[in-house]
Structure 1
Amino acid sequence: MKIFNFNEKYFLRNIMGAYMVNIGNQNEKVVVVNADLSGTCRNKTFTEIFPERAFNVGIAEQNMVSFAAGLAHEGFIPYVFSMAPFICMRACEQCRTDVAYANLNVRLMGTYAGLSGGISGATHWSVEDCAIMGSIANMIVLEPCDPIQAKKMMEATLKYNGPIYIRSTVEPVISIYNNDYEYKIGKASIVKDGVDGAYICSGITVKYALEAALRIEKKIGKSICVIDMHTIKPIDKEAVIKAAKTGNIVVAQDHNKIGGLGYYVAIILAEEKISTNFINLGVEDKFEAMAHAPYLYNKLGYDADGLEKAMINLINKN
């Protein structure tokens, strides 16, 4: 098994912003659209290398999405960068009506997902985006958890036909996957096998779940599966059903509990009439006071400490 270094720090917005050059080199139809946040979204290099394929519409996110839809109508593949709340809320109507209704090849790249914006506060947090974007027909919702996966996810977006929303954290992640990792939209990745319980997570919570699972194995000898549900919609139904066979499922996502990953998992369990111990962790249905993201993750119980505690509580119920 790979040895994981939980002190590593990789920043997905740096990796994804820089990797746009590779995506641009692969397809001349790729363009980047910004709302005056090329620095925040780390794609200045693309602008420097492909100035004729980079567009800054100013601080006008609704116009940005509609402009991208127009580019897609003309056969281009626009990658639209901004903070997640500005894409999914400020430009919600444009995402739905201009992009998704026409099933266009627009890639909506939302950084600052969840509470990762920390002391920027609620205006810059995005804890509703999966609920919003997931409810829009034709829209795919993705969330990477490590550098290699982020790149392979972006590669996959070149081949997919239709609109895609990618949410990503600004909190540091660790290296989880090797270079030979095979990524597929709609197919969950098993980070760690286990039979006594399963974590189903996405994004930043994957590293916390992995750390918690390794602690539990060392402390009480229970093997816990860690499932990286990088595709929120369409969710991997088979992976959820398999996880339920362990008898204990803890879902964690940096998102409001309502309408997030936990709801998708719970619907599958209910529809399949599967009985299992189940906990859904995420942001409570209230506005938190601004604070650094790690503090908030700990307070809300979905950092490594919280995930460890939640799983042990479920195991002890048996």
Structure 2
Amino acid sequence: MITLDLSKKDFLRDVMGHYMQELGCKNKKVLVVNADLSGTCRNRDFAVEFPTRTFNLGIAEQNMVSFAAGLAHEGFIPYAFSMAPFITMRACEQCRTDVAYANLNVRLIGTYAGVSGGISGATHWSIEDVAIMCGIPQMTVLEPCDAIEAQKMLEETLSYNGPIYIRSSVEPVIRIYNADYDYKIGKATEILHGDDGAFICAGITVKYAIEAAKNIAFRTRKSVRVIDMHTIKPLDKETVLDAAKTGNIIVAQDHNVLGGLGTYIGQFLAEKGIGIHFAIAGIPDKFVAMAHAPYLYHSFGYDADGLEKMMLEMLGE
């Protein structure tokens, strides 16, 4: 199930955009809706193969989401693509009222998650999308960490009931899973086992957590668990409880430290009365100057170096 091939690099927007063509072949109800970003979101193959099932609403994300809701009311499964900040903020009311309130099978795909947009700057960063979308009742929130998981995730959306938001990075990811990966929405995946601590992460931070855990094992012989929490909402509480047995949890997220995966895990542990060492590695609650994404990851402390340092301090090493 797990391969950990560091030599293979994939771009998730390429993988997901191109894979839409296969979804279209499997289910005639699959439609693609764009806001003039078919090139950016890499789904032009679908338009070529299925021109009558492709709709471009122009640079009008609110209209796009409402249009997708109408299609879902008619029994179709629309996949609405845009950049994460645009689809979650500009069309927030439509995501909430038109889509989620009616519990429609609309799939909202947002690329440029976190600060992966790099030098595109704050207008193209999505540092608050998880907080926004998790706050909408009936909305499922997902984030893939590699190409295989992204494909399996899209497959699952064909039969899943209710609205889904998928956020994805535009930074390259490593190959983590094999083709036989048994992906399930709502069930986290343990990539590396460990008893001394745990990294719980999603998306781009997964590869950094793997590297950090391996470095810690080599240098200290401490074993640190790496959990891919690909489903941010609903949270896999059973896996979180098991990770808490290590006594040390760091949640790594390409998102504001407020309102993201770490907030939900911390709240859950507090409600259960579980006292452990706990920290969130993420984007500080402030706007910063634009820079390339890897530099920002390092600056914010959730690349491999930052996560390794944070965990070693937590372990008292």
For the aligned pair, the TM-score class normalised by the smaller chain equals: over 0.9
2:84 maps to 84
Instruction: After TM superposition, give the deviation of residue 9 of structure 1 in Å.
Output: 1.7
Q: Which runs of 5+ in 1 are unaligned?
A: none
CA distance in 2, matches of 1:71, 1:270: 41
1:307 aligns with 2:310: no
Instruction: After TM superposition, give the deviation of residue 206 of structure 1 in Å.
Output: 0.2
Where does 1:107-186 land on structure 2 (aligned, <5 Å)? 107-186=107-186
What is the number of equivalent residue pairs in this alignment? 317
Cα distance change on mapping 1:2 and 1:25 into 2, 3 Å: closer
Q: Give the counterpart letter for 1:114 in structure 2.
A: G
Q: Is the 8 A contact 1:255 1:283 kept in 2?
A: yes
Deviations 1:92-123 (A, max 9, x none): 00000000000000000000000000000000
1:6 maps to 6
Instruction: After TM superposition, give the deviation of residue 4 of structure 1 in Å.
Output: 3.2
Moved more, 123-132 or 2-11: 2-11
Instruction: After TM superposition, give the deviation of residue 7 of structure 1 in Å.
Output: 4.5
SS at match of 1:17: helix
Deviations 1:37-82 (A, max 9, x none): 0000000000000000000000000000000000001111000000
1:189 maps to 189
Q: Is the 8 A contact 1:134 1:141 kept in 2?
A: yes
Moved more, 171-180 or 308-317: 308-317
CA distance in 1, matches of 2:83, 2:65: 13
CA distance in 2, matches of 1:315, 1:100: 42
CA distance in 1, matches of 2:93, 2:3: 45
Q: Is the 8 A contact 2:3 2:177 kept in 1?
A: no
2:298 maps to 298
Instruction: After TM superposition, give the deviation of residue 3 of structure 1 in Å.
Output: 6.1
1:220 maps to 220
1:256 maps to 256
SS at match of 2:176: coil
SS at match of 1:99: helix
SS at match of 2:65: helix
SS at match of 1:130: helix
Q: Is the 8 A contact 1:6 1:211 kept in 2?
A: no
Instruction: After TM superposition, give the deviation of residue 139 of structure 1 in Å.
Output: 0.3
Query: Taking every aligned residue pair, what percent have the same amino acid on both sides?
Result: 69
1:93 aligns with 2:114: no
Q: Give the counterpart letter for 1:115 in structure 2.
A: V
1:247 maps to 247
SS at match of 2:110: strand
Instruction: After TM superposition, give the deviation of residue 180 of structure 1 in Å.
Output: 1.1
Q: Is the 8 A contact 2:213 2:308 kept in 1?
A: yes
Q: Is the 8 A contact 1:142 1:231 kept in 2?
A: yes
Instruction: After TM superposition, give the deviation of residue 6 of structure 1 in Å.
Output: 3.2
Deviations 1:208-252 (A, max 9, x none): 000000000001001110000000000000111111101110101
CA distance in 2, matches of 1:126, 1:3: 30
SS at match of 2:177: coil
Tell me the TM-score normalised to structure 1 length.
Answer: 0.98
2:59 maps to 59
Q: Is the 8 A contact 2:5 2:174 kept in 1?
A: yes
Q: Which runs of 5+ in 2 are unaligned?
A: none
1:32 aligns with 2:5: no
Instruction: After TM superposition, give the deviation of residue 143 of structure 1 in Å.
Output: 0.1
Instruction: After TM superposition, give the deviation of residue 5 of structure 1 in Å.
Output: 3.9
Instruction: After TM superposition, give the deviation of residue 178 of structure 1 in Å.
Output: 1.0
Deviations 1:112-163 (A, max 9, x none): 0000000000000001000000000110000000000000000000010110
CA distance in 1, matches of 2:214, 2:56: 45
CA distance in 1, matches of 2:75, 2:115: 35
Q: Is the 8 A contact 2:111 2:169 kept in 1?
A: yes
1:47 maps to 47
Q: Is the 8 A contact 2:254 2:282 kept in 1?
A: yes
Deviations 1:22-47 (A, max 9, x none): 11011100000000000000000000
CA distance in 1, matches of 2:167, 2:145: 10
1:276 maps to 276
Instruction: After TM superposition, give the deviation of residue 2 of structure 1 in Å.
Output: 5.9
Cα distance change on mapping 1:56 and 1:3 into 2, 3 Å: closer
Tell me the TM-score normalised to structure 2 length.
Answer: 0.98
Q: Is the 8 A contact 2:201 2:251 kept in 1?
A: yes
2:289 maps to 289
